[in-house]
Structure 1
Amino acid sequence: MKRSVRLHPAWIVAAVAFVALVGAAGFRATPAVLLHPLHAEFGWPLATISAAVSVNLLLYGLTAPFAAALMDRFGIRRVVAVALALVAIGSGLTVFMTTSWQLILCWGVLVGLGTGSMALAFVATVTGRWFVRRRGLVTGVLTAGGAAGQLVFLPLLAMLVDGYGWRAAALVVAGAALLVVPLVWLLLREHPADVGLPPYGGQEVVEPAQPAGGAATRAVRALTAAARTRPFWLLAAGFAICGATTNGLVGTHFVPAAHDHGMSQTTAAGLLALVGIFDIVGTIASGWLTDRFDPRLLLGAYYALRGGSLLLLPGLFAATTEPSMLVFVIFYGLDWVATVPPTVALCREYFGASGAVVFGWVFASHQFGAAVAATGAGLVRDQLGTYHLAWYVAGALSVGAAVLSLMLVRRRGTPFTEPAPAAPVAWSYRN
C-alpha cells in the first residue's frame, strides 16, 4: 500500500517559486556592484550606466502583466524556464561588450525581460492559484525571498568583482540562472486541479478556466478595465513611489553613495545585504498582518515610516559603519517591500479574477518609478557631486504615497478575515 502524504502540494510549488524568485533577485542585484568597475574600465558616465539599469527596471515591470497572462495561457513552467534562459544569455554576453549600447541591450533588455517574467506578478499568480488560506503570509514569504535575494547576493557579487573582475560576476549569474531551470521544469506544478485537489484552504477542486484570446490581448484588456477605476490609479501611483524609493534609488545608488563618503564597496554591499535579511522578517510579518488587518492602513503606515527614514539618511553616511547607519539599515530593511502583500490583496479585492494581471500593471508602475529614480539619481550625482537631493525628494514622495494609500475606499462586503481551514486531504504526489 502506498503511503499517503498530508503535505499539500501548494507548499512544494511555493518552495520552488521561492528558489526561482531568489535567483531572479540575485541576477538583478549585479548592476549595483558594476557601476564603478564599468566606469573605471570604459569611462562611461554613471548616468549612462544608470540608464542601462533603468531599462532593466522598466522592462522588469512592463513584462510582468504580459508574463502573468502568458502563464495563464502557456503555463508557469514554460514561461519561467524561458525567462531563466534569457537571463543567462543576457548576463553571459556582457563579457564581450565594448560599447554602452551593448550594456543596455544585454543587461537592460535581455535580463530585464527575463527577470520581469519572474517578478511579483509571478507571486500573485502562484498564490492566487494555490492558496486560499495563508495567502497573505505566503505572498509575504515569496516577496521577501525575491527582495532579500537581491540584497543578500550583493556581498558575494562584490567579492567576485573585487577578486576576479566584473566579468566573473556576470558569468556566475549566467551559470546560476541555467542551474535553476531543471528544478523549475521538474517540480513547478501549474494548478491544484492537476493533482485532483482544491487550493490550500479551499473546499472545492476548481478546474482552470481557459483564457480567451491571446496573452497580450488579455493583459491590455485588464489594464483598460482597471484604468477606469480610481483605486487602480491610487495603487499605481503609490507603488511607483515604492519602486523609486527602493530598487531605483537605494538598490542602485546606496553602494556608490556610501563609496562617495569613503566606505568600501564590499562594506556598503554588506549593509544592503543586512537590509535584505531584515526585509525577510518585515515582509513575512506584513503578509501575516495583511491576513488580519485592513491593507490600506498598513500601506499608509509603511510609506510614512519609509519617508521619515529616507529624510534622515543623508546625515548618516560615513567612512565606517556607524551605529546610526545600522539602525537605519534595520528599520529600512523591515519596510523594504512590506508594501507588496497589502497591494496584492487590494488588487485581488478590487479586480477579482483579473487581480494578478492588474497587479502586474501596478507593478509596472513600480518599476517605472524605479527606472526614473535610477537615472534621476545618477544625473543628480553627476551634476551636484552628491546624492543628498535625491534622498530628500524620495523621503517627501514616500509621505505622499502614504496619503494616497489612505485615500483608498474599502470595498463593501469584502472581509479581511482569514478563511477557515479546510479538512486535511490525503494525497500522493506523483510527477
Structure 2
Amino acid sequence: MNRCDAAPRTTATPAGLRAWSVAAVACLAIVVAGAFSTMPGLLIDPLRDEFAWSRGSIGFATSVNMVLYGLTAPFAAALMDRFGIRRVVVAALATIACGALLTTFMTAAWQLTLYWGLLVGLGTGSMAMAFAATVTDRWFARRKGLVTGVLAAGSVFGQMVFLPVLSRIIERYQWRPSLVTVALAAVATAPLIWCVLRDHPADIGRRPYGSDTFVPKPRPVQGAAARSVRVLGDSARTGPFWLLAATFAICGASTNGIMWTHFTPAAHDHGMPVTTASGLLAVIGIFNVAGTIASGWLTDRWDARRLLAGYFALRGVLLLFLPMMMASTVRPSMVVFVVVFGLLDLATIPPVLALCREFYGDESAIVFGWVSAAHQVGAALIAFLGGVARDALGTYDEVWVALGALCGTAALLALVIRRRIPAPRTGSDRADRGPSAVAQGRPGR
C-alpha cells in the first residue's frame, strides 16, 4: 500500500503535535539561514581593513547574494513539489556551509561575489519564505497566518541569536572564525531536518492541522523550472501581482537592504562602537519576533491591505527621523526607534502571503516566491547603492530620507489593491478545491 493511501489517523492531538513539530524544525532551518543575513554588515569594515576593498565592491557581492536569494525562492518551491521538502532543504544547508567555508579562503573581491553572493545566496534562497509558505500550506488548514508569522520570525530570531555572538567573535578573533561558526551551525542542523521534517501529512497518515478530511499527497510535479516560469507568466498578467511586487521591493529596500547591511557602519560613522550597533540590531530582532507573530495573528482577523498600508506608513516615519537619532551613545529616541522598527520589520510578510493565497490559490507559494524575488531585488539595489552613496556623500542621511519617502509610496500602493470577488461555486467545486485565479486566467482587481 502506498503511504499516501494509508488510513488517516484521526486523533486530533497527535496530529496537531506532529504539524507543529514539522513547523518547529522548518523554523530551525530558517533560523540558521537567518544567521547568514547578519554577516554582511559585520564584514564590511574588517574586509576593508584587510583587503582595502571599497564599500561598493563589498555591497555588490551582498547585492548578488540578495538577488539570488529572491530568484531562487520560486524555483525552490517548485523543486519541493518535485523532489520533496527535506531533500531541498538539506541540500540548501550543505550549499551555504560550503559557501561560508570557501569565503574564508578568498583573496579577491570577485571570490566574495562567487562564494558569498552565489553559493550562500542560492542556499539561503531555498529556505526563504516560499519554503515557509509550502510547509504552511501542506501541514495547516487553520492558523495559517499565525504559522506564517512564526516561521517569518525565525529568520530574525536567527539574526537576534547569532548577531551578538558573531560580532563578539569578529572583535576578538577576526572575521574568519565567525564564518566557520555559521557554517558549522548549518552542518549540525541538516541531520535533524532529515530525521524530523516530512514532505506531507499523508506520508505518515495524518491530516493537515485543522482539517476535517484526509488530504492525499499530490503526485510529484515534473518540470519545476518550467512550472515556475509559467506561474510567473500567468500571475504577471494580473494587477495584484505587480502591486504586491512593488510594495515588497520597497519592503526589502527598507529592511534587509539598508538595516542589515548598512545600519552598523552608519552608526559607527557617528562614533557608536560596532558591538553596540550590533546589539541594537539584535534588539530589533527580538521585537521582530513579537511583531511578526502578532502580524500573523492579526492577518487571520483583519484586512491584509489595511495592515500592510499601516505598517509601511509607520516604517516610513521612523526612517525619515532616523538621521536625527544617530549618535555615539544610545539615546532614548534610538531605543524607541529600535523597538517600533523591530515590531514592523517583517510584519509585512503575513499579509502579503495572505493576499497571494487570496488571488492565486494553489500556486500561491510559487507566486509568493516571485514576489519575494522583488523584495530581494529592492534589498540588493539599496545594499549596493547605499554603499555607493556613502562613498560619494560621506554620509547615509540622504539614503534614510529617500527610503522613508518610498515607504509612504508603498503604503499607498497597498491601499490600491482591491479584494478579489470569488466566482460562484458549483456543487463539484465545493467537493474539490477549485483552480487558482492564475489557472483560471482571471486578473485580480
TM-score scaled to structure 1, two decimals? 0.94
Q: Choose 372-381 or 150-159, whichever is displaced more.
A: 150-159
* Aligned: 1:272 with 2:281: yes
Query: Residue 253 of structure 2 contacts residue 403 of structure 2 at CA under 8 Å; is this kept in 1?
Result: yes
Query: Residue 152 of structure 1 contacts residue 272 of structure 1 at CA under 8 Å; is this kept in 2?
Result: no
Q: In structure 2, list runs of 5 or more residues that go unmatched.
A: 1-10, 424-445
Whole-Å separation in 2 of the counterparts to 1:56 and 1:218: 24
Q: Which residue pairs with 1:332 in the alignment?
A: 341
| Structure-to-structure mapping, 1:18-417, within 5 angstroms | 18-413=27-422
Whole-Å separation in 2 of the counterparts to 1:274 and 1:114: 26
Matched residue SS, 2:13:
coil
Which amino acid in structure 1 is aligned with residue 107 of structure 2? T
Moved over 4 A (4+): none
Shift of 1:194: 1.2
Whole-Å separation in 1 of the counterparts to 2:262 and 2:365: 30
Query: Residue 81 of structure 2 contacts residue 221 of structure 2 at CA under 8 Å; is this kept in 1?
Result: no
Whole-Å separation in 1 of the counterparts to 2:290 and 2:128: 20
Whole-Å separation in 2 of the counterparts to 1:80 and 1:261: 40
Cα shift readout 1:199-244 (whole Å, capped 9, x = no counterpart): 1011111112225431101100110000000000000000000000
Q: Which residue pairs with 2:439 in the alignment?
A: none
Matched residue SS, 2:258:
helix
Whole-Å separation in 2 of the counterparts to 1:144 and 1:212: 29
How many residues are aligned here?
Answer: 411
Q: Choose 202-211 or 10-19, whichever is displaced more.
A: 202-211
Cα distance change, pair 212–73 in 1 and its aligned pair in 2 (3 A): closer
Shift of 1:130: 0.6
Which amino acid in structure 2 is aligned with residue 27 of structure 1? F
Shift of 1:5: 8.5
Query: Residue 40 of structure 2 contacts residue 260 of structure 2 at CA under 8 Å; is this kept in 1?
Result: no
Matched residue SS, 1:218:
helix
Matched residue SS, 1:31:
helix
Matched residue SS, 1:96:
coil
* Aligned: 1:6 with 2:13: yes
Query: Residue 203 of structure 2 contacts residue 217 of structure 2 at CA under 8 Å; is this kept in 1?
Result: no
Shift of 1:173: 1.2
Q: Which residue pairs with 2:6 in the alignment?
A: none
Whole-Å separation in 2 of the counterparts to 1:58 and 1:196: 38
Q: In structure 1, list runs of 5 or more residues that go unmatched.
A: 415-431
State the percentage of identical aligned residues.
59
Whole-Å separation in 1 of the counterparts to 2:12 and 2:224: 36
Whole-Å separation in 1 of the counterparts to 2:294 and 2:328: 33
